[in-house]
């Protein structure tokens, strides 16, 4: 498969599959907007975030980046996290994290 070079409007999705214990759901939902705003301020290549509940404890955190290494760029700012660290502390187990370029959007 031939891959197109990134363009200025390229997008990359990162899908993180994680466990959120039932007791952590309300605190997670309460801190989420503040954590995403903090992440966007620290790393402007983060341009979108969706939180998806698959079942009682399995969730997907779907992040949209303008750069393929957006997560690395954000994590390099970890010493400046407050809300992001609090949000991550509510995840009990990260099962997987994958990032890839968006190839088609309708």
Residue 7 lies in a domain: no
Residue 31 lies in a domain: yes
Pairwise CA distance, residues 25 & 21, whole Å: 7
Q: What's the pLDDT band for 9 if we cut at 50, 70, 90?
A: confident
Pairwise CA distance, residues 54 & 101, whole Å: 23
Domain containing residue 57: CATH number: 3.30.70.100
Q: What are phi and psi of 37, to 5 degrees?
A: -60, -40
Q: What is the mean pLDDT of residues 21-42?
A: 97
Q: For 29-79, give the DSSP string.
A: HHHHHHHHHHHHHH-TTEEEEEEEE-SSSEEEEEEEESSTTHHHHHHTTGG
Query: 76 lies in which domain range?
Result: 16-100
Residue 43 lies in a domain: yes
Compute CA distances 24 → 1, 55, 56, 92, whole Å. Answer: 42, 14, 11, 9
Question: Residues 90, 24: contact at Cβ < 8 Å?
Answer: yes
Predicted confidence (pLDDT) at residue 6 exceeds the cutoff of 80: no
Pairwise CA distance, residues 18 & 40, whole Å: 21
pLDDT tens digits along 33-73? 999 999 999 999 999 999 999 999 999 999 999 999 999 99
């Amino acid at each position: 498969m031939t891959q197109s070079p990134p363009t200025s409007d390229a997008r990359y999705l990162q899908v993180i599959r994680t466990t959120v214990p039932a007791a952590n759901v309300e605190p997670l939902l309460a801190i989420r907007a503040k954590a995403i705003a903090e992440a966007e301020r620290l790393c402007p290549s983060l341009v979108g975030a969706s939180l998806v509940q698959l079942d009682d404890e399995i969730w997907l955190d779907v992040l949209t980046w303008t750069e393929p290494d957006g997560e690395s760029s954000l994590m390099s700012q970890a010493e400046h996290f407050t809300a992001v660290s609090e949000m991550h502390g509510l995840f009990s187990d990260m099962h997987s994290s994958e990032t890839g370029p968006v190839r088609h959007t309708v």
